[in-house]
Chain A
Amino acid sequence: DIQMTQSPPSLSASLGDKVTVTCQASQNINKYIAWYQQKPGKAPRLLIRYTSTLESGTPSRFSGSGSGRDYSFSISNVESEDIASYYCLQFDNLPDTFGAGTKLELK
């Protein structure tokens, strides 16, 4: 199974900050990575697919990049509605595997 090492486990940010989350795969995943947002008590919501393609409805302050084994996800100008947990998912090989998550909190 492909392991996804996500960091940091938690982030503290002020409104308007830029934050970045990284995921490193245990092998090349050919840009087959997606990013999800999850708010407490809610189902995950797909934000980005194929490394950098924003889903319909995803604000442009969200972005993704990377290749090979290394990927990142950023939020520029953090807003209060962005307070949530974020997960990466590799879908290059079954079983699909998630990162451990990053909890974004307000400073």
Chain B
Amino acid sequence: EVQLVESGGGLVQPGRSMKLSCAASGFTFSNYGMAWVRQAPTKGLEWVAIISYDGSSTYYRDSVKGRFTISRDNAKSTLYLQMNSLRSEDTATYYCTRLAMMVLITSNWFAYWGQGTLVTVSS
């Protein structure tokens, strides 16, 4: 059974940093692209960043480029999101997701989701 368990969320002041982790199990982590999707309170879903199966390719939404870094450790089956210079508009539940098909990160959809971790950016 595919399991994705996020951790690292909490309350952080504007301008500070936070690192999210996602522990994966139940599948061969190194075969799949992974992504972070967020949802602000009472709002819709928003793709944040995506990384290829081997970490060689990454893409970000414009509003987080230069501030967020997605990475992975295939030996530990763990996905990360390093978030710097946090803003109030980054307040959201962050979901770790696994893409449906092996290898590809384009033309591929979010098949599995973690339970999410809430990040609150506030002074």
Task: Describe A's contact surface by its main secondary structure.
Answer: loop
Across the interface, do A49 and B116 meet the contact criterion of CB distance under 8 Å?
no
Across the interface, do B113 and A44 meet the contact criterion of CB distance under 8 Å?
yes
- 28 residue pairs A–B, Cβ–Cβ below 8 Å: A32-B109, A34-B109, A34-B110, A36-B45, A43-B113, A43-B114, A43-B115, A43-B116, A44-B45, A44-B95, A44-B110, A46-B109, A46-B110, A49-B100, A49-B109, A91-B107, A91-B109, A92-B107, A94-B50, A94-B59, A94-B105, A95-B59, A95-B61, A97-B47, A98-B46, A99-B44, A101-B44, A101-B45
What is the number of contacts between chain A and chain B, taking CB atoms within 8 Å? 55
Task: Select from chain A the residue with minimum beta-carbon distance to B35.
Answer: A96
- Contacts from A to B (Cβ < 8 Å): 32, 34, 36, 38, 42-46, 49, 87, 89, 91-101
Give the shortest distance, in Å, between A48 (CB) and chain B (any CB): 10
* Cα distance, A97 to B113, chains bound together (Å): 16
* Cα distance, A98 to B44, chains bound together (Å): 8
Residue numbers in B under 8 Å from A49 (CB-CB): 100, 109
Across the interface, do B44 and A87 meet the contact criterion of CB distance under 8 Å?
yes
Is B108 in the interface zone, CB < 8 Å from A?
yes
Give the shortest distance, in Å, between B15 (CB) and chain A (any CB): 25
Name B45's contact: one of A87, A91, A93, A95 (CB within 8 Å): A87
Interface size on B (CB < 8 Å)? 21
* Cα distance, A32 to B106, chains bound together (Å): 11
* Cα distance, A34 to B108, chains bound together (Å): 10
Identify the 10 closest CB pairs spanning chains A and B, nearest first.
Answer: A43-B113, A98-B45, A34-B109, A91-B109, A101-B44, A96-B47, A100-B44, A95-B47, A94-B59, A95-B61
Is B75 in the interface zone, CB < 8 Å from A?
no
* Cα distance, A10 to B80, chains bound together (Å): 35
